[in-house]
Amino acid sequence: MTKSELLVLARVRRMAKSGEAKAIRLGAELSLAEVGSPVGVGPATVYHWENGKRVPHGEAALKYASVLDALVAAAPA
């Protein structure tokens, strides 16, 4: 894993732990399944990340960060 990927991994884990990731998803009015699909995980996995039961890791964590970043970028100003 590259240095930049490690930084993204740390950031997405902080976002999940703090509730920021869940707030972004809810603000975009998306379901757990709708966010999980492009990440390649099921809704239960996203739920567990958002509720601190599991920690995002590996390629799925990087994809999750990308989805969250895209949602933030697309949010109305």
Q: How many CB atoms lie within 10 A of CB 5?
A: 14
Q: How many residues make up the chain in this entry?
A: 77
| Cα–Cα dist 26/74, whole Å | 14
Q: Is the pLDDT of residue 77 over 90?
A: no
Structural domain boundaries enclosing 68: 3-74
Q: Is 8:43 a contact under the CB 8 Å cutoff? A: no
- The owner of tokens 């990440």 is 39
CATH number for 35:
1.10.260.40
Structural domain count, the chain: 1
> What's this model's pTM, rounded to 2 decimal places?
0.94
Q: Is the pLDDT of residue 1 over 90?
A: no
pLDDT of 9-52, one tens digit each? 999 999 999 999 999 999 999 999 999 999 999 999 999 999 99
CA 18 remoteness from chain centre: 12
